[in-house]
Amino acid sequence: MSSVWERVRETRRRIEMATARAGRAPGSVKLVAVTKNVDLPAMEEALRAGVAAIGESRVQEARAKRQVIGDRVEWHMIGPLQLNKAKYCPGLFTVVHSVDREDLARELDRRARDHGVWQCCLLQVNVGRESQKGGCAPEKAEELLRALAGFDRLRMAGLMTVPPFDEDPERARPFYRELAALRDELNRKGAGREPLAELSMGMSNDFEVAVEEGATLVRVGSAIFGPRPGPLTEDKET
Ligand SMILES: *Cc1c(COP(=O)(O)O)cnc(C)c1O
């Protein structure tokens, strides 16, 4: 089996190929290597291969790993977030991808102010309308974003989604296209304080499709680190 180093290289190559196919500028997609349940030696190997952003879905795991790895990389929170864990986020995570409700945003805003930082966030949208998944309903995104514009310590930088799982990456394409269209519509309406630039979409089995549809951040775990024990879709709240 190939090494983590080789798989990082291969993933980056595939991202750049898809970027070129879509007629997008080279380097316009950031690889977020998802390291939930991944041990420190494998993470170090990924960093040596050039990974610059780490995605974690549990606050405790991210805090423990950051103690060792430090801030040589960006730390991204990609999993569902409980209100009582929001206090740990500002100062720990560069980007929180999973903001999907006002009470969570309010708490992140308050904690960011206490910490003296501005928290970059993405609005998670449940484009697949799956009841078990996080994210606001697409038709609620505008109202929520307008409400969040009042939290001046949050920088809402874009949208994120996790589509319904399917072996066939083409089945994810309509969901990614919908997220990109929603981002453009929200920008046209001026719903956020600043324009939404980012689209966090695409995982191991469909990141090339996501890049073709405009992803700026892809979250890739098992294609780099191998299969994970446990559920492959979405974690319980941390
Ligand atoms: C686990 C996870 C990923 C990575 O999934 P892979 O299929 O292993 O690439 C991406 N996004 C979220 C939100 C996740 O929880």
Tens of pLDDT, residue by residue over 48-68, are 999 999 999 999 999 999 999
Q: Quick one: pLDDT at residue 228?
A: 79
Q: Which tens digits make up the pLDDT trace of 170-200? A: 999 999 999 999 999 999 999 999 999 999 9
Q: How far is the CA of 116 from the centre of ligand 1 (A)?
A: 30
Predicted TM-score (pTM) of the model is 0.95
Ligand 1 pocket residue status of 201, Cβ below 6 Å: no
Mutate to test the pocket of ligand 1, among 7, 10, 32, 34 (most ligand atoms within 8 A of CB): 34
Instruction: Give 2's pLDDT tier (boundaries 50, 70, 90).
Output: confident
Residue nearest to atom 11 of ligand 1 (CA): 219
First to last CA, the chain: 32
What's at 59, amino acid-wise?
V
CATH architecture of residue range(s) 3-224: Alpha-Beta Barrel (3.20)
Instruction: Give 45's pLDDT tier (boundaries 50, 70, 90).
Output: very high
User: How deeply is 37 buried, as exposed, middle or buried, from its count of CB atoms within 10 A (0-12, 13-18, 19+)?
Assistant: middle
**Phi first, then psi: what are they for 44, rounded to 5°?**
-60, -40
What's at 197, amino acid-wise?
A
Give every CB contact of residue 31 below 8 A, 6+ residues apart in sequence. 8, 11, 12, 15, 51, 52, 53, 218, 220
Q: Which atom of ligand 1 is nearest to the CA of 204?
A: 9
Q: Quick one: pLDDT at residue 141?
A: 98
| Helices marked H in 116-206 | 141-148, 173-188
